[in-house]
Amino acid sequence: MNRKLFKIIMGIIIAVLLSGCSNRDKTGYYEIHNINSKLSHSSSGLTCSNEQDDYYYSNGIIYKYGNSIENSEPIVDTIKVSGVEKLYPTNIAVTNNYLYFIIDGKLFRTDLYTRETDSLFPELTGRFDDVAADKEGVFISYFTDISRIYWLDDGKKDWGNTIDLQKILLEGRKVQNIKDFNNYVIPFKNYLMLGDDYWGIDNIQVISVFSQKDDRIILASNGSTEEYFMLDGIIYGLKLDGYYLIDNSTIYPISALADYDSVHFNWIPGHYVVENKKLYILIQYAKPPHVINPNQDSNYFDALIEVDPIAGDSKVLFKTKSNMPRIVAYEEGFVYLFREYQISSYNLATGEEKKLADLPEKDSLIFDCVNGKIFVYEWETAYHSLVEVVELRD
């Protein structure tokens, strides 16, 4: 074989190999849940933390995370206690003493010390569809003809001890929303609750619960018609073209979105967070009619937007050049990227990118940021499998 022909053949081989590498993870399904570990509520049903210990669901078992997946401790076999084989929890939540989880509309509680699991309120005929916990107790979403949110002190297990939070909202401050319904705001314990009468005065709903201490989102209702965030104890509504104080009809535009057509994206809980007095929003710019589409072939690019509601300005912090890499998390000046089955950190201040972990080559992955870590799952129909836990940069 002459030298010229050899070079041509080698060139073709290299081109094919490079083409193969560039197409890796280009057509998969990559779902992003919480982008920031400050977010204490995740609707994924897969991870939770009481800020000391982390708990996660994988293949029918809820574990307490050790310093690795292999060193994690099994806490409860959800298949055994629920009798349901092919459903994973719609949500799990943890206090200092108990682990709560929902499977097939039923609410369960595991004592973290004795490992005993109870089915809570089996006498009720409705469905439980969400649970969120803080150190004092749990918020429970219970559905009959409409979802209602209840509070239960940690350790209590009589339905008579629950507090119907919708009734408490009626005693709160009432403000006119920029749309044709009212918002209601009232302090409750160490929280600030927000509700609305969108479905009528007889069906007032709790739609968001915030920590008054640090503006964390404790609970975000997936059934809400609006998205909300809190900064310095002030609640704002979030629209695709801007934000507004809930007691004011003035909409403040997000200038960084001026070049983005809103038919390509949407806001969902878990994709925005308040950190250091600013709002950070993940945009997944998708091909219409899709919005927030985790399928790679339906995504144009990802972008991270910083909004300063106090100063009234905004900017694009980071934008991908195509549908890969994907932005899977943001925390304290670092963007976390997924590409070529790796997770890397990108320092916004220095422009330095550093590889953090390799991931298995799966075409369906879920990313959930909890307590300084990114929990990565393989998405499956019956079960979800935890495949990697990535520590965020200090």
DSSP letter string over 59-113? TTEEEE--SSSTT-EEEEEHHHHH--SS---SEEEE-SSEEEEEETTEEEEEETT
Instruction: Please give the pLDDT value at position 14.
Output: 34
pLDDT category of residue 113 using cuts at 50, 70 and 90: very high
Q: Which amino acid is at 127?
A: R
pLDDT category of residue 277 using cuts at 50, 70 and 90: very high
Which is higher by pLDDT, 120 or 249?
Answer: 120
Give percent of the chain with pLDDT exceeding 90.
64
42-80 pLDDT, tens digit each: 666 789 998 889 999 999 999 999 999 999 999 999 999
Question: Which helix (DSSP H) or strand (DSSP E) does residue 16 occupy?
Answer: helix 3-22
Please give the average per-residue pLDDT across 265-288, as a whole number.
Answer: 92
Q: Is the pLDDT of residue 336 over 50?
A: yes
* Whole-Å CA distances, 161 to 95, 157, 257: 17, 7, 46
pLDDT category of residue 120 using cuts at 50, 70 and 90: very high
**Ramachandran area for residue 101 (φ above 0: left; ψ -120 to 50: alpha; else beta):** beta
Please give the average per-residue pLDDT across 265-274, as a whole number.
Answer: 90
Neighbour-count burial of 36, counting CB atoms closer than 10 A to its CB (0-12 exposed, 13-18 middle, 19+ buried) = buried
Please give the average per-residue pLDDT across 145-164, as a whole number.
Answer: 92
Instruction: Please give the pLDDT value at position 2.
Output: 46
For the chain, give the mean pLDDT. Answer: 88
pLDDT category of residue 394 using cuts at 50, 70 and 90: low
Domains assigned to the chain: 39-173 (2.130.10.10), 324-394 (2.40.10)
pLDDT-wise least confident of 38-52, 65-79, 95-109, 249-263: 38-52
**Ramachandran area for residue 35 (φ above 0: left; ψ -120 to 50: alpha; else beta):** alpha
Please give the average per-residue pLDDT across 348-359, as a whole number.
Answer: 96
Give percent of the chain with pLDDT exceeding 70.
90
Which is higher by pLDDT, 247 or 8?
Answer: 247
pLDDT category of residue 18 using cuts at 50, 70 and 90: very low
Please give the average per-residue pLDDT across 302-322, as a whole number.
Answer: 94
pTM of the model: 0.89
Q: Is the pLDDT of residue 227 over 50?
A: yes
Distance between CA atoms of 162 and 175, rounded to whole angstroms? 27
Q: Is the pLDDT of residue 3 over 80?
A: no
What SS3 string covers 125-145?
CCEEEEEEECCCEEEEEEECC
Instruction: Please give the pLDDT value at position 360.
Output: 93
190-212 pLDDT, tens digit each: 999 999 998 888 888 899 999 99
Strand order in the sheet with 272-275: 272-275, 278-286, 299-308, 313-319
Instruction: Please give the pLDDT value at position 44.
Output: 63
Please give the average per-residue pLDDT across 202-228, as a whole number.
Answer: 85
| Residue 233 backbone dihedrals phi, psi, to 5 degrees | 80, 5
